[in-house]
Amino acid sequence: MIIGLDVGGTHTDVVLIGDDKVLRRAKVLTIHSNLFDCVREGLEQVTRDIPPHKIHRVVLSTTLTTNAITEGKLAQTGMIVSAGPGIDPLFFSTGSHYYCVSGSIDHRGREIQPIDRSEIERIASRFKAAGIRRVGVVSKFSVRNPKHEFEMAKILGDSFENIILGHRVSGNLNFPRRIATVYLNAAVYSIHKQFFDAVQDSLIKKGLNIPIFVLKADGGTMSLEASVDAPGQTILSGPAASVMGSLLFASDAVDSLVLDIGGTTTDMAVLVRGIPLLEPLGGEIGGYRTLIRSLRTESIGLGGDSAVRIVNGEIRIGPDRLGSAMAYGGPSPTPTDALFVLGKVIEGNVEASARGLQPIAERLGISLEDAAGRIFDDSCRAILTAAGKMTAAINSKPVYTVRELLLGYKVQPKEILVLGGPAPHFADRLAQLSGLHVSVVPQWDVANAIGAALARGTCEVALFADTERGTAIAPEEDFVLQIKKDFTRQNAIDLAFGLLRKKWLQVGASEESLPEMEVVEDLQFNMIRDFSTTGKNIRIKVQVKPGLLPGYGGIAGKLCDRR
C-alpha cells in the first residue's frame, strides 16, 4: 500500500492506495501555522488499523518551502559570489550577507583569475560574528569548472552547518539563477529538515517505520534523506501533484491540457502525449527565477470564488478573491454564484447569489440570467485564452538548429482534463467553446494526493566534455573525469546514462527497476583552431522523464467506476 498526501492551500488531501484501487481517502483542513499537525492528522486517518508492514511508502507534497519563500520567512543565509567580468553581480543580491569576491572562470572553464583566500577568510569571520549558519558559494561558469566553489568552501571550513555549492544545484548555465537557487536551498534548509525530522519521528513513534518520500517540483519523488540536501527541489510540488494525478486519465496518443480550476486560481499544464512538459531552465517562485527542475505550469487569477465586478462597463472577473461565493455566505458575487443563478449548482443559497448578481445585471442592462450566462462564458473564455497563450509560448520557444526549426514539434492539445471544485460545471461549456474533448478527472478532489502517491522517480544528468581540455564533467553529480582525445559522443552518452542510473538510486526513487532513460540533448562540436581540429566539445543531457509508477494503470478504471 502507498500513502499519498498533498498539503493544499485549503485542504490537506490524503489517499491510501492498494494494489489497484484507492482504499481510503481523507481531507483535513490545512492550518498554515501548523502544517505538521495536518500531516500527522491526515496520515492517522488513512492508516488507522492498517498493519504498518503493509504500507511500503509514503509520499508527501507540502507547501512548507513554497510558503516560506513566498512569505519571505527565510533563514539568514550568507552568500559569496565570484563573478569576474560581466554584469555587476550586485544586481543579483539576495539581501544582507551577500558578498562579491574576486576570481574568474571563462566560458570554457579556464581559470582567468584565482580566488583571494584572505577575502574569503574575512567574510567567514563576518558570517560567524553575525551568527550565520548556512552559506552558499557561487562562481560564474562553475558548471564548466567548479574549482573556485570548492576552494571557497574549503576556506570557509567546517564552522558552518551547511555550505551549498552552485554547481551542485543544476548543470544548466545561468549565473543569476544559480545564485537564487543556491540561496533558496540554503535558506529553507533548516525549516525543511526540522519539519521532516518531526514527521519521521512521529511515524516511528506510531510504529510506522516506512520509507518517506517527498514530491519534487518536477513531479518526481525523492527520499526524505536526499531531500535534506536539496530542499529547494520541493518547492512548487503542489501544482506538480495535480498534474501527476491527471496523468492517469490522459491520452498518450494526443496532447492534453490540464486545467485545475480552484477557488482563487486556475492552474494550467500541458501534456505532450501523456508526458508533462518541464520548464526549460527551472521554476519561478516568489520573484526568484531558479534552476530547480520543475513542471511547466501557469496560474491565472481566475477561479470559482474570484470577485466579479463591472469596470468601465465591462465584466471583470478576478484576479482577486474576496471570500467564498455569496451562495455560501461570501461578500461578493463570483462565477460560482453565476452557476447558481444558471441552475447548474443547487446546494446553497441561490437567493444570495441572485442578490449579488442583480446590480451587475442592472448595470449591464440585461436580465439576471443573461448576466450570469455572460459571467460564466467570460470565465470559460478567459481560461481558454490563457491556455492558448501558454501553448503559443511553448511553441514559440526558440531552437538553435536548422533541423529543429524545420521539423520542430508543435504542441496542439486535442483534449482537456479538468480538476477542481467547479470542474464538472465548466466541462461542457469549455468543450463547446474550444471544440476539444473535455473530461473531468474522476475524484478530482484527491487527484493531487493520488498524483503524489503514484509519482515515480525522475531526474536529469547534464554532462559536458571538452577533449581539448581533456575533461568530462557532470557538475551536479560531483563528477569530473580526465578524458583522452579519442573520447566520443557515444562514450559521453554511456557515461551520462551511468551517472543517471546512480543518481536515480541515490535520490531514492521508490520503485525497483529503472524506467526508460532518454537523451534530451545531444550536441557535438568540432573545435577548430587555425583550420585544424583540436578537439571535440560534447554536451549531453539525459533524463528519466516524469511519469507514474508502472502497474497502477488499472486504478484509473476503478476511479471512473466510483464516479
Reported residue count of the chain is 563
Rounded to a whole number of angstroms, the minimum distance from the CB of residue 3 to another protein is 38
Report the residue from 44, 106, 225, 369 that binds another protein according to the rule CB under 8 A: 106
Rounded to a whole number of angstroms, the minimum distance from the CB of residue 107 to another protein is 4
Confirm or reject binding of residue 140 to another protein (CB under 8 A): yes
Considering the complex, state which of residue 104 and residue 332 has its C-beta at the smaller distance from another protein: 104
Considering the complex, state which of residue 529 and residue 562 has its C-beta at the smaller distance from another protein: 529
At 494, list the grid cell: 554511456
Residue type, 207: G
Return all residues near 327 (Cβ < 8 A) that are at least 6 apart: 336, 337, 340, 345, 348, 349, 350, 352, 353
d(CA 14, CA 449): 6
Candidate ranges 306-314, 377-385, 390-398, 501-509; the one touching another protein (CB under 8 A):
390-398
d(CA 485, CA 481): 13
Candidate ranges 18-26, 501-509, 510-518, 532-540; the one touching another protein (CB under 8 A):
532-540
Q: H or E segment at 308? A: strand 306-311
Rounded to a whole number of angstroms, the minimum distance from the CB of residue 384 to another protein is 23
- Nearest CA to 482 among 498, 469, 495, 463? 469
Candidate ranges 56-64, 239-247, 256-264, 393-401; the one touching another protein (CB under 8 A):
393-401
Q: Do residues 157 and 139 make contact, with C-beta atoms less than 8 angstroms apart?
A: no
Confirm or reject binding of residue 392 to another protein (CB under 8 A): no
Considering the complex, state which of residue 393 and residue 505 has its C-beta at the smaller distance from another protein: 393
What is the side-by-side order of every strand in the sheet holding 57-61? 21-29, 11-18, 2-7, 57-61, 212-215, 221-223
Specify the residue for cell string 559522443. 489
- Nearest CA to 89 among 141, 167, 157, 150? 141
The DSSP 8-state label assigned to residue 388 in this structure reads H
Candidate ranges 47-55, 139-147, 414-422, 472-480; the one touching another protein (CB under 8 A):
139-147
Report the residue from 117, 154, 526, 557 that binds another protein according to the rule CB under 8 A: 526
Candidate ranges 58-66, 172-180, 292-300, 420-428; the one touching another protein (CB under 8 A):
172-180
Q: CA-CA distances (angstroms) from residue 355 to 323, 349, 405, 422? A: 16, 10, 55, 21
Candidate ranges 62-70, 229-237, 247-255, 525-533; the one touching another protein (CB under 8 A):
525-533
Considering the complex, state which of residue 108 and residue 273 has its C-beta at the smaller distance from another protein: 108
Q: How many residues bind another protein (CB under 8 A)?
A: 42
Report the residue from 108, 117, 273, 563 that binds another protein according to the rule CB under 8 A: 108
Report the residue from 329, 432, 533, 554 that binds another protein according to the rule CB under 8 A: 533
Q: Do residues 424 and 457 make contact, with C-beta atoms less than 8 angstroms apart?
A: no
Centroid of chain to Cα 139: 25
Confirm or reject binding of residue 162 to another protein (CB under 8 A): no
Q: Do residues 419 and 441 make contact, with C-beta atoms less than 8 angstroms apart?
A: yes
Rounded to a whole number of angstroms, the minimum distance from the CB of residue 276 to another protein is 22
Per-residue exposure over 110-132, b if at least 16 CB sit within 10 Å of its own CB, e if not: eeeeebeeebbeebbeebeeeeb
d(CA 555, CA 449): 14
Confirm or reject binding of residue 468 to another protein (CB under 8 A): no
d(CA 547, CA 295): 11
- Determine the angle formed by the axes of helices 237-247 and 447-454, rounding to 10 degrees: 90
- Nearest CA to 188 among 134, 151, 149? 134
Q: Do residues 305 and 273 make contact, with C-beta atoms less than 8 angstroms apart?
A: no
Considering the complex, state which of residue 167 and residue 425 has its C-beta at the smaller distance from another protein: 167
Which positions from 398 to 437 touch another protein by CB under 8 A, shown as an x/- string?
A: xxxxxx-xx-------------------------------
Report the residue from 23, 50, 100, 173 that binds another protein according to the rule CB under 8 A: 173
Which positions from 175 to 194 touch another protein by CB under 8 A, shown as an x/- string?
A: xxx-----------------
Rounded to a whole number of angstroms, the minimum distance from the CB of residue 79 to another protein is 16
Rounded to a whole number of angstroms, the minimum distance from the CB of residue 343 to another protein is 44
Confirm or reject binding of residue 311 to another protein (CB under 8 A): no
Rounded to a whole number of angstroms, the minimum distance from the CB of residue 542 to another protein is 19
Candidate ranges 167-175, 195-203, 268-276, 547-555; the one touching another protein (CB under 8 A):
167-175
Candidate ranges 8-16, 80-88, 469-477, 549-557; the one touching another protein (CB under 8 A):
80-88
Please give the residue ranges that form the binding site for another protein (CB under 8 A): 85-88, 91-92, 104, 106-108, 112, 140-141, 144, 172-177, 287, 289, 396-403, 405-406, 523, 525-528, 530-533, 537
